[in-house]
Amino acid sequence: MQVVIAKFEAIKRALIGEIEAGRWLEHQQIPSENALAARFGCSRMTARRALTELVEQGVLVRSQGLGTFVAPFRSQSSLLTIRNIADEIRERGHRHRAQLLALDACPADMETAIALGLAPQAPIYHSRLLHLDNDQPVQLEERYVNPILVPDYLQQSFQQQTPHEYLSSVAPLLQAHHQIEAIAPTPEQQRLLQLSHAEPCLRICRRTWSSLGAVSFARLLHPGSRFRLGGQLPLGNLSLEKEAP
């Protein structure tokens, strides 16, 4: 499968590769947006987007008026604790089970292409699972995966391990970005989650990265009555946990 990589994603991968190879050391200043634009034959805005995303991922740090620098290696890890829902359920002494609803390839729409750093309509992998806690639905997972980084995704059944567990094993996740919002479920989502009425649901949109680039983009939908979101903010670190009572 031939996939076209967006230019800003190619710049990100090149810089990460050079950092890992030791070309750019901790606290060392990297080339400017103009220099990167000239090197990669792209616009300054494209180079700026690549640097901005690497700053958001904690790979780089930006100092106003000075430039952009390689972040201290000890800080180049996710600021969010990404928990596996199967582990959460088992920790409560309950039984986790997953129903695989869909597993296929599809063209990337604009939102997903941007999230994964691919060109619009590029082929991507898609999965849809319903996670159950003691046979009660607690999460509807819709996930889109970068086929370049996870080529064997469609060969998995996800009966013995969740997509999160599989992705963590084949493309170790280093960074994540979450967007959390309350939404009203569609009739189909209401049916799958076995809701007696259209109660509000909490949706977490999650992007994850490995050292090679964006790995997956997931939408995780939880019934409001079966979900609690908690977090703590210790100095220098942020952890975010989710629970389904």
Per-residue pLDDT tens digits for 208-233:
888 788 899 999 999 988 766 544 33
Taking the C-alpha atoms of residue 135 and residue 183, their distance in angstroms, rounded to an integer, is 24
Please indicate, yes or no, whether residues 70 and 104 belong to a single structural domain of this protein: no
Please choose, from the candidates 111, 151, 107, 116, the residue with its C-alpha nearest in 3D space to the C-alpha of residue 6: 116
For the whole prediction, is pTM greater than 0.75?
no
Q: What is the pLDDT, as a whole number, of residue 22?
A: 79
Q: How many residues does the chain have?
A: 245
- Residue pair 174/210 in contact (Cβ under 8 Å)? The answer is yes
Q: What is the pLDDT, as a whole number, of residue 226?
A: 75
Q: What is the pLDDT, as a whole number, of residue 143?
A: 98
161: containing domain: 85-243
Q: What is the pLDDT, as a whole number, of residue 4?
A: 65
The first and second tokens of residue 171, run together, are: 């493309």
Domain boundary among 75, 97, 129: 75
Q: What is the pLDDT, as a whole number, of residue 195?
A: 92
Q: What is the pLDDT, as a whole number, of residue 181?
A: 86
Q: What is the pLDDT, as a whole number, of residue 237?
A: 40
165 assigned to some structural domain: yes
Please indicate, yes or no, whether residues 46 and 135 belong to a single structural domain of this protein: no
Q: What is the pLDDT, as a whole number, of residue 245?
A: 38
Low-confidence ranges of the chain (pLDDT < 50): 74-80, 230-245
Please indicate, yes or no, whether residues 47 and 95 belong to a single structural domain of this protein: no
Total structural domains within the chain: 2
Residue 17: CB atoms within 10 Å: 12
Q: What is the domain-level CATH number for residue 173?
A: 3.40.1410.10
Q: What is the pLDDT, as a whole number, of residue 49?
A: 93
Please indicate, yes or no, whether residues 91 and 69 belong to a single structural domain of this protein: no
Please indicate, yes or no, whether residues 183 and 134 belong to a single structural domain of this protein: yes
Q: What is the pLDDT, as a whole number, of residue 76?
A: 42
Q: What is the domain-level CATH number for residue 27?
A: 1.10.10.10
80 assigned to some structural domain: no
Catalogue the E-assigned strands of the chain: 60-63, 67-70, 96-107, 123-133, 136-145, 175-183, 201-210, 213-223, 228-232, 239-243
Please indicate, yes or no, whether residues 135 and 204 belong to a single structural domain of this protein: yes
Please indicate, yes or no, whether residues 63 and 100 belong to a single structural domain of this protein: no
